[in-house]
């Protein structure tokens, strides 16, 4: 019996290690951003629809409302699909939706907003993608929930209506 256990032990150790490494590899996914729980990164960028002053991190810390920051681009097809959900999100009480327009042209971005509607309170124009790197953005669209200056949650990819109902709205209720 002991001989049998000894005989199979290397194989079982390897299988166990395989399982452990598999879970460890998947534990650090992209949505586990190191920024969650931290203060928002400082930034200052042009506004897309208003040339007068800059859209800055201070805009996101000045209100008690729950801030959503959506990183989008007019050339991003999933962003178009997500736009209706963002319109719904922007109508929720105590929610302010901001946009960061990622590596776009002003003309195309403005056309996008004029055609599909503007759910954003303010839009920053991040033409060189630098602010997106500050936010640890991998690609568009991505959405961050910010409350009292801290990043609470990060969503990678377009928000589907089911995700709005099952994940995002419960977070809003919790924060309220």
Partner 1 sequence: MKSSQYIFHILIAYSLLLSSVYALNVDQEERANNLFKETRCLVCEGQNIYESNSDSAEDMKKLISEMIIDGNSDNEIKSFLVSRYGDWIIMTPPINQSTYFLWFSPIIILLIGIVFILRKFKKNG
* Residue 8: CB atoms within 10 Å: 11
We find the least distance from the C-beta atom of residue 13 to partner 1, in angstroms, to be 7
Nearer to partner 1, 38 or 58 (CB): 38
**What is the spatial distance between Cα 167 and Cα 154, in angstroms, rounded to a whole number?**
11
Nearer to partner 1, 133 or 161 (CB): 133
Residues that bind partner 1 (CB under 8 A): 10, 13, 17, 20-21, 24, 28, 30, 32-35, 41, 103, 128-130, 133-136, 138-139
We find the least distance from the C-beta atom of residue 52 to partner 1, in angstroms, to be 27
Q: Exposure pattern of 84-97 as b/e (b: 16+ CB <10 Å)? A: ebbeebbebeebbb
Nearer to partner 1, 32 or 52 (CB): 32
We find the least distance from the C-beta atom of residue 142 to partner 1, in angstroms, to be 11
Nearer to partner 1, 32 or 162 (CB): 32
We find the least distance from the C-beta atom of residue 50 to partner 1, in angstroms, to be 25
């Amino acid at each position: 019996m002991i001989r049998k256990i000894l005989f199979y032990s290397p194989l079982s150790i390897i299988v166990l290690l395989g399982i452990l490494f598999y879970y460890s590899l998947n534990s650090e996914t992209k949505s586990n951003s190191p920024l969650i729980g931290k203060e928002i990164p400082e930034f200052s960028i042009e506004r897309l629809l208003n040339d007068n002053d800059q859209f800055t991190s201070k805009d996101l810390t000045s209100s008690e409302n729950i801030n959503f920051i959506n990183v989008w681009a007019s050339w991003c097809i999933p962003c178009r699909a997500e736009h209706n959900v963002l319109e719904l999100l922007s109508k929720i009480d105590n929610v302010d939706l901001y946009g960061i327009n990622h590596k776009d042209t002003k003309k195309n971005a403005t056309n996008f907003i004029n055609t599909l509607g503007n759910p954003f309170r303010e839009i920053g124009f991040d033409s060189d993608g630098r602010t997106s790197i500050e936010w640890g953005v991998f690609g568009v669209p991505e959405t961050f929930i910010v409350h009292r200056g801290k990043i609470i949650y990060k969503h990678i990819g377009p928000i589907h209506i089911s995700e709005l109902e099952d994940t995002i709205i419960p977070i809003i209720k919790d924060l309220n």
